[in-house]
Amino acid sequence: MSAVPSSLAPPVRVLLGPGPSDTPPAVLQALGKPTVGHLDPYYLAIMDELQQMLRQLYRTQNALTMAISGTGSAGQEATVANLVEPGDAVLVGVNGVFGGRLADMAERAGGEVTRVERPWGEVFRPDDLKEPLARVKPKVVAIVMAETSTGAWQPIEEISQLVHDAGALLLVDTVTALGGISVEVDAWQIDAVYSGSQKCLSCPPGLAPVSFSPAAVEKIMNRKAKVRSWYLDVSLLASYWGENRVYHHTAPINMTYALHEAVRLILAEGLDTCFARHRRHHEALAAGLASLGIRFLAEEGHRLPQLNAVSIPSGVDDGFVRSELLRRFGIEIGGGLGQFKGQAWRIGLMGHSARPNNVLLLLAALEELLAEQGHAFEHGAGIAAANAVYSRA
């Protein structure tokens, strides 16, 4: 008979990768509160409160705003699968891994997909979409606001106007955006939007906040064919999250507690204050990295504060640095994906991870490891540059 494994004792990490982020103690405590039934009056009240807080976070009045049971990819699939019908023309902006994933999902949903591509690290301008919109005449246009693979921050407002002038619905990926930078669903006329719990919301992975405009709901409710996924069929989920409370699936009760607390903490901090905090720590990190001779991959003026994708200096071993950061300092950062594999580090300052002690710890650790790799820089320059930013703030 095999021995029974020991009880869990996970190591304490400083999570500065592309997700998950550090989880505040209050969120972990919420996760451990007593479980009730998924139709218990207490849980239904928590669902109502969560919906209202998500509307504040997304800055929307959309009635159909809820948390999909699943990670951010489930939210992505839910929005795509419900908006895209077989034969629909779909235009997808691809400038990184997650734009490519949107295109793949739209194809799997039966859409006739046209990809508009930009080099990795760059963003789309309105002129990039004018000709494809006129030529393709899409039913849906999908784009990533915060491309996690490149650190590029995509402006949405001008593109949204073009999309709606062309008669299409706009679907936006805000997995890394929500809670770190402003997402203005109503002001920007976004028709479908999704995110994940584990990035700037600083909740464990497992729920995907989504929101659908009245125009998107109308399309979903008047589909010619059923959504290919029963589990992610929004017309069914709406009856569970709406007034009727029609049973659909057993919701992850304790994860809902955790997301409720995570969003509550952000709203208590204040959205603008939260966004300014992310910006301040990004600026300190950017100054420190520049002093070490490390450059950003996303184009200037379009760099995410919460996801810093940087080029690995010449002669520095990617695997050595990341493994030693974890082994010696307990710090996790991410490696490159796709075209940037082996060429980039992705440093997350998301949610609860966006704190000055994390910035300074990372810069000190990087200085030690880069020096061991023979990378030339002025010792102490990174920390001094970051502290100069904090002093000005």
Tell me the mean pLDDT per 10 residues along the chain, length 393.
90 97 98 97 97 98 98 98 98 98 98 98 97 98 98 96 97 98 98 98 98 98 95 96 92 98 98 98 98 96 98 97 98 97 97 98 98 94 97 88
- H or E stretch including 66? strand 64-69
How many angstroms separate the first and last alpha carbons of the chain? 61
Every domain range in the chain assigned CATH 3.90.1150.10: 270-392
* Alpha-carbon span 390 to 277, nearest angstrom: 11
* Alpha-carbon span 13 to 358, nearest angstrom: 11
Pair 180, 146: CB distance under 8 Å? yes
CATH class of 270-392: alpha beta
> What secondary structure letter does DSSP report for 193?
E
For residue 360, the model assigns a pLDDT of 98
Which two three-digit tokens encode residue 91? 């235009």
CATH code for the part of the protein at 25-268:
3.40.640.10
Of the candidates 197, 187, 186, which has an alpha carbon nearest to the alpha carbon of residue 75? 197
* Alpha-carbon span 246 to 233, nearest angstrom: 14
Every domain range in the chain assigned CATH 3.40.640.10: 25-268
- Going by C-beta distance under 8 Å and a sequence separation of 6 or more, which residues neighbour residue 372? none
Which two three-digit tokens encode residue 319? 């695997």
For residue 393, the model assigns a pLDDT of 76
> What does residue 279 show for φ and ψ, rounded to 5 degrees?
-65, -45
For residue 284, the model assigns a pLDDT of 98
Neighbouring-strand partners of residue 343: none
Which residue has 């999704």 as its token pair?
Answer: 194
Of the candidates 202, 232, 255, which has an alpha carbon nearest to the alpha carbon of residue 15? 202
